[in-house]
Structure 1
Amino acid sequence: MDAMSVDVATDRPAGSVAVARDSARSFLEGLAPALASEAADTVVLVVSELVTNALRHGGGTCTLDLTAHPDSIEVAVHDHSPDAPRMRTPDLDVGTGGFGWPLVNRLATATAVTLRATGGKTVSALLSR
């Protein structure tokens, strides 16, 4: 089983999300057997959405963990907020979001939100390999 962890902070939010995406791509490129291009793109998209949500709503820092299982990739993002993501109607007029969590739930085979004993939560998504 392959795994990696990346700390992400909001000192440069867009840059921080880019670092998370780049880290995910590097992790995925090192897997054997390699993921199909479409599956890798889906993992990177889920990483981007979960890290963006964690930085925006979870206290400004987060940790991304990626784990490769024989038939799946687990994306887990830990942040400092106990508040679970929620489904809401996407904002098509003002552009305040609402697309990320529904998208993650459509792409993943399973999602979970777990409160951490040390505070905050972990939001995880399991994606087919």
Structure 2
Amino acid sequence: MDTVSANVAPTRSGKSAADARRDARAFLDGLLPPVTSEAAGTVLLVVSELVTNALRHAGGTWSLELTAHPDGIEVAVHDASPQPPRLRTPDLNGGTGGFGWPLVNRLARTTAVSPGPSGGKTVSALLSRW
């Protein structure tokens, strides 16, 4: 089989980016052949950033979908906001962020934002498996 897919159940706003990382780690641990530790770290970082963005900017309700392809791992986060992520000047002093979306774009081979069926959006990133 060339593609392994797993959907992580939608999570309510009471859950955290740490929960998403735990679910992603369990997904990665089940893949054969296994991903490299560097690729796994990249996937976990992107999951954390996209879920944190959903928590902070999209009302806090999100779901995570992970798909393993022969040469990559796709991370997709669905949230209720129709507003796409935007680049902004990182805040070096006030702690208001601005680092996550540029980081995701730098780590991913491709990123995409598409409208969700209920008015929200899906933000996805394709990451190297090796």
Tell me the residue number matched to 1:100: 100
The unaligned stretches of length 5 or more in structure 2 are none
The unaligned stretches of length 5 or more in structure 1 are none
> What percentage of residue pairs aligned between the two structures are identical?
67
Tell me the residue number matched to 2:118: 118
**Is residue 9 from structure 1 mapped to residue 12 from structure 2 by the alignment?**
yes
Number of corresponding residues: 126
Q: TM-score, normalised by structure 2?
A: 0.93
- 1:32-83 Cα distance to aligned partner (Å, 9 max, x none): 0000100000000000000000111112110000000111100000000000
SS of the residue corresponding to residue 85 of structure 1 reads coil
Runs of 4+ residues over 4 Å off in structure 1? none
SS of the residue corresponding to residue 114 of structure 1 reads strand
Q: Distance in 1 between matches of 2:106 and 2:63?
A: 23
**Is residue 80 from structure 1 mapped to residue 83 from structure 2 by the alignment?**
no
Tell me the residue number matched to 1:40: 40
Residue 116 of structure 1: how far off its partner (Å):
1.6
The CA RMSD measured in Å over matched residues stands at: 1.0
Q: Distance in 1 between matches of 2:72 and 2:54?
A: 22
SS of the residue corresponding to residue 78 of structure 2 reads strand
- 1:1-37 Cα distance to aligned partner (Å, 9 max, x none): 222223223325xxx2111001101100110000010
Q: TM-score, normalised by structure 1?
A: 0.94
